[in-house]
Copies of this chain bind each other. A is one copy, B any other.
Amino acid sequence: MFAYIKGTVEEKNNDSIIVEAGGIGYRIFTALSTINNMGQNGTTVKIYTHYYVREDIAVLYGFGTVEELTMFEMLLTVSGVGPKAAISMISTLSPSRFYLAVVSQDTKSLTKAPGIGMKMAQRIILDLKDKISKEQLTSSIPMTSPENNEVTGDSVLSEAVSALMVLGYGSAEASSTISGIYEKGISVEELVKKALKSL
């Protein structure tokens, strides 16, 4: 029902912020990353929200970007994943890294999020890998600066190849395309993005 709240930041806590609009202070639970990226108290913000309603609870979860909100709502569709686990994931992986981890079945990246064990990571992959569209995988890929690139050349290549294979491309076609456009220092996301453009 509430797609977003536009108002002034009144308070920042560990797990929530308060945004005022029309004389009402809305408490919005969110990820630490969202809180840290937020302006000082008094600045005007637009928080993309999810109205979470259960029998004895009605709370707002919110994020700085539509992509984070979409990722949050996708995670909630996975049985056993509640708001806390979803927020923990968003605090750990950006939407694009998350989609890539799911598509390339990279449980290691998923389990970096506190509270996400191997079993839950596997269930997330199982439930979501067919729901992640090509657009989500590429459109939300920010130009990651080299120093974010914690992975070595080989694993960049293999991660990119498996990402394409999950998207339905044959291994031969995936490998030849990837190796054809690979350059030293390129990130997995850029490699996959470039490959998808040339396929």
User: Which chain A residues have a beta carbon within 8 Å of chain B's beta carbons?
Assistant: 1-7, 10-11, 18, 20-27, 46, 51, 53-60
The contact sample of 24 A-B pairs, CB cut-off 8 A, is A1-B26, A1-B27, A1-B51, A1-B58, A2-B24, A2-B25, A3-B11, A3-B25, A3-B26, A4-B18, A4-B25, A5-B23, A6-B20, A6-B23, A6-B25, A7-B23, A21-B22, A21-B24, A22-B23, A22-B24, A25-B46, A53-B56, A53-B58, A55-B56
Q: How far is the CB of A27 from chain B (nearest CB, A)?
A: 4
- A5 neighbours in B (Cβ, 8 Å): 23-25
- A58 neighbours in B (Cβ, 8 Å): 1, 51, 53, 58
- A23 neighbours in B (Cβ, 8 Å): 5-7, 21-22
Q: Which listed residue (B3, B6, B56, B59) contacts A1, Cβ 8 A?
A: B59
Task: Decide yes or no: A60 and B1 within 8 Å by CB, A20-B6, A54-B55, A55-B54 being known contacts.
Answer: yes
Q: How far is the CB of A72 from chain B (nearest CB, A)?
A: 14
Extra contacts, 12 of them, besides A53-B57, A54-B56 (Cβ < 8 A), are A1-B26, A2-B26, A3-B11, A5-B25, A6-B24, A21-B23, A22-B23, A22-B24, A25-B46, A53-B58, A55-B56, A58-B58
Q: Is the interface of A mostly helix, strand, loop or mixed?
A: strand
Q: Give complex CA distance A26, B25 in Å.
A: 13
- A11 neighbours in B (Cβ, 8 Å): 3
Q: Give complex CA distance A2, B1 in Å.
A: 11
4 tightest A-B contacts by CB? A21-B23, A3-B27, A4-B25, A3-B25
Q: How far is the CB of A54 from chain B (nearest CB, A)?
A: 5
Q: Give complex CA distance A27, B59 in Å.
A: 16
